[in-house]
Amino acid sequence: MEAVKSNSGSGLIETVRDFIAADGVEMRVGIVDIDSIANRDATAAALEEAKDSECDLLVAAAFESDLEESASPSDAILQGSPCSAIILHYRPDHVPEGEDIMVGVTDGPHDSVSLFLANAMTEVSGAQVTLMRTEEATADEELEVGKRELEQMIRDASIADPDRIRTEVFNQRDLAAMTESMNRHALLTLGANAQDSVRRLMRITSNPTIAVIKRAPALRVLTGGAGSDWIPHLSPSDYTDLVQGLRRGSRLSTDFMVMLTLAAAIATLGLLQNSAAVVIGSMLLAPLMTPMLGCGLALSMSNAKLAKDSTTAIVVGFMLALLVSGMVALLTPGSELTPEVMARTDPNILDLLIAAASGAAAAYALARPSLAGSIAGVAIATALVPPLCSVGTSLAYAELTSAWGAWLLFTTNVVAIILGASGTFRLLGITARRRATRWRPSVWVQRTVTGLAAGALLMAVPLQLNLLKHLEGVKPQPNSFPIAKLVLDEVHRYVAEVPDLELAFAGKPASEFSTADVVIMLTSPKPLPRKYARDLVRIVRDTVGDQELDVVVHGLLEAWETVDTEEQEVPPEGKKEAK
């Protein structure tokens, strides 16, 4: 800004202006606009002003007494600030010595902002930054790991002059060394997640002003506003590695074709052998997931060449796997599809959701180097090659219905993975907007995404019907439901008083084809008089209190043979009866 917006609080404004002029701030950073706002609630006024002015950074001071309050103004600013914020905890009547800044790394989400702001301040003042962390170390090798973590953090932050930043790693038990190092700095910055440590640090240190820093919240993720900082965007080095890796892996190459051929052969043999372990092994070998993720990245970045290379690799890979699986199935003796094949010929809507989640997980894991080990699990969850080989095997066995089902599963996986990966890359900030100030999605990107989304919706209809059919077919259905205990006790009491009469069954029919409310079945070694049926109908109706109740009584006559066949003499084989 270039002008003072208000004349209120002129005395305070003049004091601040004199301080800035004496310190030479304007000469180093340019024009400084000073304003005062009259409000009974200073915290609310500061947050409202930060929101209205769309500022990038809010700086506030906190008294030592704030640390004793359960709901201090500094807490309110950290929680409600619409932008990045710094809370300075200063000591009364104390002027810190020196100009160097220490950044305490706590492995929290605010560390990157702390380093960025500290480096920006030292670029103006010419001071140095010390990046510090603690390790629960018992050996020098563990301290070396912590140092490498700090060096990686500097690389990820793309610091223009890393020589101005030094690193220090302390054993967390060496409190004296840490305190001595902190006292050599004028400012100590911590992420907001370490706010609870401020009181202790104020007690053990004597020189530095302690600053608590938080980064902006997620407000406008999809529009690319400042709120997207909450999404863990890639560092320049990770961004370069990701794009380079997917470009290489998405090209149609000899390595791609060899690995896919072997994976398809192993998958087909595993399907024919009905071996789940072999099929899972083929999932880990197949490189077909990479060009699909490349398609997702191409849509996110509007990269037509990457989209062309990825699509070519997918199409050629599909034809190659289909050819290999068909040939292996024809050369292998067999007449019926195994359960492993049949399991991939009846997809449902759950497979579509699994593929979409797998594509998103694979994209996120590739973008975060620390999660690279998750890719194997994603490959198993998605299972691209086995459905494709099930298509070739079904065609070789002339099972066209099964081939169509396996093809639908493969197509579902492809569409969902590309859409899931593309959406995840966009959320991670990997878009053409990253490389251009004025950007809008290309027409081909809009048409491709629309086509894929429409295809997913069209496939969702038969997939949902398959799911409903499956649930209806496997859902257990009882033959009957129990009747009330009071009714059952009365029936048992009646049957117990009649000789040679047994109760075989009493319950409510579960079948929709039966109109009876209660069915009773009796057994006896001799014919039963109908009086028993009338008595039981009356007992049930009276007990329930409904004379219109439909009660059906069945009588089963026991018809065992009167001759015991075990005691009957059986003539030896071939022996003639005496005449």
> How far apart, in whole angstroms, are the C-alpha atoms of residue 504 and residue 557?
12
Considering its fold, how many domains does the chain have in total? 3
Q: Are 271 and 328 in contact (CB under 8 A)?
A: no
Is residue 442, in this structure, part of any structural domain at all?
Answer: yes
What is the reported pLDDT for 235?
61
The model's pTM is 0.54
CATH number at residue 489: 3.30.300.20
Are both 301 and 161 inside the same structural domain? no
Q: What is the mean pLDDT of the chain?
A: 78
Residue where one domain finishes, among candidates 202, 230, 258 = 230
Write a three-state SS string for 341-378. HHCCCCCCHHHHHHHHHHHHHHHHHHHCHHHHHHHHHH
Q: Is 203 in the same domain as 172?
A: yes
**pLDDT of 527:** 86
- Residue 278: name the closest of 259, 258, 262, 255 by CA: 262
The CB-side HSE value for 352 (13 A sphere, CA atoms) comes to 22
> Tell me: the pLDDT tens digits for 200-259?
888 899 888 888 888 876 333 333 443 444 455 566 666 777 777 888 888 888 888 999
Domain shared by 124 and 203, yes or no: yes
Here the contacts of 434-438 (C-beta below 8 Å, separation 24 or greater) are 434/239
The SS3 call for residue 188 is: strand
Does one domain contain both 122 and 150?
yes
CB atoms closer than 10 angstroms to residue 456: 19
Alpha-carbon torsion angle 171, 173, 178, 179, nearest 10: 180
Q: Are residues 217 and 287 in the same domain?
A: no
d(Cα 70, Cα 100) in Å, to the nearest integer? Answer: 32
Residue 449 resides in a domain: yes
> And the tokens for 100?
């160097």
Closest CA to 188 of 108, 126, 106, 107: 106
- Burial string for 52-78 (b: 16+ CB within 10 Å, else e) reads eeebeebebebeeebbeeeebbbbbbb
Say if residues 480 and 507 touch (Cβ distance below 8 Å).
yes
- Range of 129's domain? 39-230
Same structural domain for residues 403 and 498?
A: no
The rounded distance, in Å, linking the Cα atoms of 232 and 58 is: 21
Say what the pLDDT of residue 161 is.
Answer: 75
In a domain, 577, yes or no: no
What is the pLDDT tens value at each position of the chain, 579 positions in all?
A: 333 334 445 565 676 666 566 555 555 555 666 666 666 777 787 788 778 777 878 888 776 555 555 556 777 777 788 888 888 887 777 788 888 999 988 877 788 888 888 888 887 778 889 999 888 766 677 778 888 888 888 877 767 777 888 899 888 888 899 999 999 998 899 888 888 888 888 889 988 888 888 887 633 333 344 344 445 556 666 677 777 788 888 888 888 899 999 999 999 998 888 888 888 888 878 788 888 888 988 888 888 888 888 999 999 999 999 999 999 998 887 667 888 888 888 888 888 888 888 888 888 888 776 665 556 666 665 678 888 899 999 998 888 888 998 899 889 889 999 998 888 888 877 776 544 444 455 788 888 888 888 988 888 888 888 777 776 655 556 778 888 889 999 999 999 998 888 898 999 888 777 888 899 999 988 888 889 899 999 999 999 898 999 999 998 887 665 555 555 554 555 444 444
The whole-angstrom separation of Cα 373 and Cα 496 is 69
Q: Is residue 31 part of a domain?
A: no
Domain boundary among 445, 471, 497: 471
Backbone angles phi, psi at 504, to 5 degrees: -90, -35
Residue 1 lies in a domain: no
Residue 390 CA to residue 413 CA, distance in Å, equals 14
pLDDT single digits (tens) 456-474 = 888 888 888 877 777 665 5
What pLDDT does 437 receive?
Answer: 40
Tell me the β-bridge partners of 133: 169
Q: What angle do CA 145, 148, 151 make, to 5 degrees?
A: 160
Q: Are residues 136 and 216 in the same domain?
A: yes
d(CA 160, CA 154): 10
Looking at residue 358, what is its pLDDT? Answer: 84
Q: Are residues 352 and 401 in the same domain?
A: yes
